[in-house]
Amino acid sequence: WLAPMRASKRSDDPVETCEKLLSQCEMFSKVPPESLAIISGLMTYRTVRRNEVLLQQSAPSDRFFLLESGEISRRFKDPEDGKTHNVEYAIKAKSVNSMKILSGDPVYATVKCMSEECRLYELQRDKFLKLLSNKPEITIQIAEGLCEEVRRSSKKYRTPLLQQKQQEVNVPAVAIAAGIESYYRSALNAMLNARLTGVKSDLFPNMHIQVPTRIAYIVGFKGLRTIFDKHVDAESFGDNATAVSLATAVAPGILMTPISSVLEASNAGHLNPESMTTRWLRGVVPRAGREIIFGVGLNQLSDYFEERMTPMFPQNPMMANAAGSLAAGVVSGYLSHVPHNLSTYKLMEPNKSYGQLFKMFVDKSCPPIVDASTSAWPAFARTATRSIFSVMFPRGVMIRTVQIVGSFMILNGTINYLQLLEHNKIQRA
């Protein structure tokens, strides 16, 4: 049953509003304004009240609507099991039943007005088909619009992780981002080290060393990736292409480890009295592993996730960038935590071996309930279980993950924003 719809007067220009709604409909995206004006002239302005039915499931598709204001519901009743489902479409234009109007297929879902009132335009199918018969060029334009929408909605970017390519680096943008991020990183590092060792320190120690070093460090990561992307063609190595791609992905982390070591040593003076020339070498091996994870996360993994987040934010590249950085930060923060702990312990306890430091890490990270549950187990089984739990759920992992997530979002977000401003400036010139 279709509720009777009442005609309504409007204070603004109904033709102009109708043409605007038509232009926003994917079906009419390729139809020129003069043809939209003809179509709008065939449409009737209506007002319906709450719970009035616009279209009934399985009824003939003899009309379609453009919704000017109000909320509607689309509900499909499955004839096989009798269940009712709310229907949502990826296409968000304010058109109702427009895709069925050409074929005349039965209405898919019952459509009701759910707000106090819904204001809309209605076009009868017979009028529309007559227009298309008289003006076949509009039919071609509608087909072009529908084809473009199919291409757009079906297009997905799925570049493999190690094949992500760096856009041209804007060094000033990277430097500004790194300068901002250095304060965030320093504070989180101090909190994490306090969590691991129980000894508090200044949040911003030796910033005269940290800031320029961090800038060189981040510019190095981005710059090295660009150099490798430009001058190393992994595909030219045939069967070894994957190995070459992996090597170019991890190389920036290895090459930037000395700079990272200086940054770490700047935060450890309160526990390690050695001079900076000696202190920066402590924990360099696990730190290299951590830097490889950080570099791949900041570069390839952030781009990998951003590419897959873009369809969720088609009109907001900054949100896609932030979401991609967040996902990459969570992965990198978790995976890099154990090597980060070992490098930190070695920096602060330089006289202990890595075996002793790993045992200290396990003792600090293993949950008390695991200690209690395994107290009567054989020594090997107890040690293995405690080690696995400590590696899987390490102490301070949340702080470390928040630090990496924040760093990635600050760095990638600031770089992306500044480069976007520069691009827009060039476009306007």
User: What CATH number is attached to the domain comprising 132?
Assistant: 2.60.120.10
Co-location of 328 and 187 in the same domain: yes
330 Cβ partners below 8 Å, 6+ apart? 401, 404, 405
Secondary structure (3-state) at 112: strand
181: domain CATH number? 1.50.40
| Per-residue model confidence as pLDDT tens digits over 56-99 | 999 999 999 999 999 998 899 888 777 888 887 654 457 898 88
Q: What angle do CA 249, 254, 257 make, to 5 degrees?
A: 135
| Per-residue model confidence as pLDDT tens digits over 322-359 | 999 999 999 999 999 899 889 988 988 899 999 999 99
Q: Which of 236-250, 268-282, 394-408 has the highest mean pLDDT?
A: 236-250
| Per-residue model confidence as pLDDT tens digits over 135-159 | 999 999 999 988 887 776 655 666 7
Q: Which helix (H) or strand (E) holds 117?
A: strand 117-124
Co-location of 184 and 35 in the same domain: no
Query: Exposure pattern of 29-60 as b/e (b: 16+ CB <10 Å)?
Result: bbbeeebbeebbeebebbbbeeebbbbebeee
As a whole number, mean pLDDT of residues 22-43 equals 91
Co-location of 230 and 359 in the same domain: yes
Q: How does residue 13 score in pLDDT terms, banded at 50, 70 and 90?
A: low
**Worst-scoring range by mean pLDDT, 53-62, 220-229, 393-402?**
393-402
As a whole number, mean pLDDT of residues 20-24 equals 89
Is 344 within a domain?
A: yes
Q: Note the residue count of the chain.
A: 429
DSSP label of 299: I
Structure confidence at residue 47 (pLDDT):
93
Co-location of 147 and 226 in the same domain: no
Co-location of 133 and 176 in the same domain: no
Co-location of 137 and 179 in the same domain: no
Give me the number of domains the chain comprises.
2
Structure confidence at residue 206 (pLDDT):
81
Q: Angle, to 10 degrees, between the axis of helix 317-335 and the axis of helix 337-348?
A: 60
As a whole number, mean pLDDT of residues 304-319 equals 86
Please tell me the distance from the alpha carbon of residue 277 to that of residue 210, in angstroms, as a whole number.
15
Q: How does residue 364 score in pLDDT terms, banded at 50, 70 and 90?
A: confident
383 Cβ partners below 8 Å, 6+ apart? none
Where does a domain end: 112, 128, 155?
155
Is 162 within a domain?
A: no
As a whole number, mean pLDDT of residues 223-247 equals 90
Is 165 within a domain?
A: no
Is 281 within a domain?
A: yes
Structure confidence at residue 316 (pLDDT):
86
- Cα within 13 Å of Cα(52), Cβ side: 18
Is 320 within a domain?
A: yes
For residue 340, the enclosing domain spans 171-428
As a whole number, mean pLDDT of residues 211-221 equals 91
Structure confidence at residue 7 (pLDDT):
39
As a whole number, mean pLDDT of residues 179-189 equals 89
Co-location of 225 and 102 in the same domain: no
Report pTM.
Answer: 0.63
CA distances from 129 to 82, 98, 135, 138, 384 (A): 34, 13, 10, 11, 75
Secondary structure (3-state) at 72: strand
77 Cβ partners below 8 Å, 6+ apart? 57, 83, 84, 85, 110
Q: What angle do CA 347, 350, 354 make, to 5 degrees?
A: 90
Where does a domain end: 155, 183, 216?
155
Co-location of 385 and 311 in the same domain: yes
Q: Which of 74-78, 310-314, 381-385 has the highest mean pLDDT?
A: 381-385
Co-location of 140 and 178 in the same domain: no
**Residue pair 392/335 in contact by the 8 Å Cβ criterion:** no
As a whole number, mean pLDDT of residues 12-37 equals 86
| Per-residue model confidence as pLDDT tens digits over 252-309 | 999 999 988 887 887 677 778 888 888 989 999 999 999 999 999 999 999 999 988 8
Is 161 within a domain?
A: no
Q: How does residue 50 score in pLDDT terms, banded at 50, 70 and 90?
A: very high
DSSP label of 280: T
125 pLDDT higher than 50: yes
Structure confidence at residue 160 (pLDDT):
81
Co-location of 254 and 390 in the same domain: yes
- The residue among 314 and 397 whose pLDDT is bigger is 397
Q: Which amino acid is at 387?
A: S
- Looking at every residue in the chain, the average pLDDT score rounds to 86
Co-location of 421 and 316 in the same domain: yes
Co-location of 175 and 128 in the same domain: no
Residue 252 CB neighbours (<10 A): 24
Is 192 within a domain?
A: yes
Is 230 within a domain?
A: yes
Among 265, 181, 269, 168, smallest CA distance to 218 is for 181
Report the chain's terminal Cα–Cα distance, integer Å: 59
Q: How does residue 236 score in pLDDT terms, banded at 50, 70 and 90?
A: confident
